[in-house]
């Protein structure tokens, strides 16, 4: 995923200026037991959902998107933003019928071996949504 943005705040130093970032996006989906087919979720569905989410951001200046107005689009923020959309897709059945059994997920965005961040949380609420 390739994006452009500015980060607000002195802590970001030169990243306060418009710059680009290229991320490798990794998603780890977890469940306590494999489903009857021996999988966590349908990988084709998960890949398609992730691709659709990433495409919304790719080659965009995030500062120009209404959704991110007055938001610091840090790597951590973007990892959570992607996490939330995948969690919604799982809850709505887009990852297949057994995605409601997911217990947690981690989304990682990596620029390099020293510049990366992840967002991880429980998905136990999916069980109550079904």
Domain boundaries, the chain: 2-129
* Mean pLDDT confidence for 12-23: 97
pLDDT above 90 for 124: no
H or E segment and range at residue 74: none
Tens of pLDDT, residues 90-121:
999 999 998 999 999 999 999 999 999 999 99
pLDDT of residue 128: 57
What would the two tokens of residue 98 be?
């057994």
Q: How far is CA 122 from CA 52, 55, 78, 116, in A?
A: 23, 25, 18, 21
Q: Which runs of consecutive H residues, i.e. helices, occur in 6-124?
A: 43-57, 75-91
The pLDDT score that the predictor gives to residue 7 is 97
| pLDDT interval class at 21 (50, 70, 90) | very high
Contact 100, 129 (CB under 8 A): yes
Candidate CATH numbers 3.30.479.10, 3.30.70.120, 3.40.190.10, 3.50.50.60; the one for domain 2-129: 3.30.479.10
Element containing residue 61 per DSSP (H, E): strand 60-61
Question: How does pLDDT run across 46-83, given as a tens digit for each residue?
Answer: 999 999 999 999 999 999 999 999 999 999 999 999 99
Residue 113 CA, chain-centre distance (Å), reads 19
Q: How far apart are CA 41 and CA 96, in angstroms?
A: 7
């Amino acid at each position: 995923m390739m994006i452009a943005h500015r980060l607000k705040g002195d802590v970001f130093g030169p990243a306060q200026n418009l710059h680009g970032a290229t991320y490798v996006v990794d998603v780890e989906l977890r469940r306590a037991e494999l489903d009857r087919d021996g999988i966590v979720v349908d990988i084709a569905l998960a890949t398609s959902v992730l691709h659709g989410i990433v495409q919304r951001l790719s080659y965009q200046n995030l500062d120009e998107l209404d959704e991110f107005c007055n938001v610091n689009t840090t790597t951590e923020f973007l990892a959570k933003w992607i996490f939330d959309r995948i969690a919604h897709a799982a809850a709505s059945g887009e990852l297949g019928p057994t995605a409601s059994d997911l217990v947690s997920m981690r989304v990682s965005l990596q620029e390099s071996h020293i510049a990366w961040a992840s967002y991880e949380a429980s998905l136990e609420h999916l069980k109550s949504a079904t």
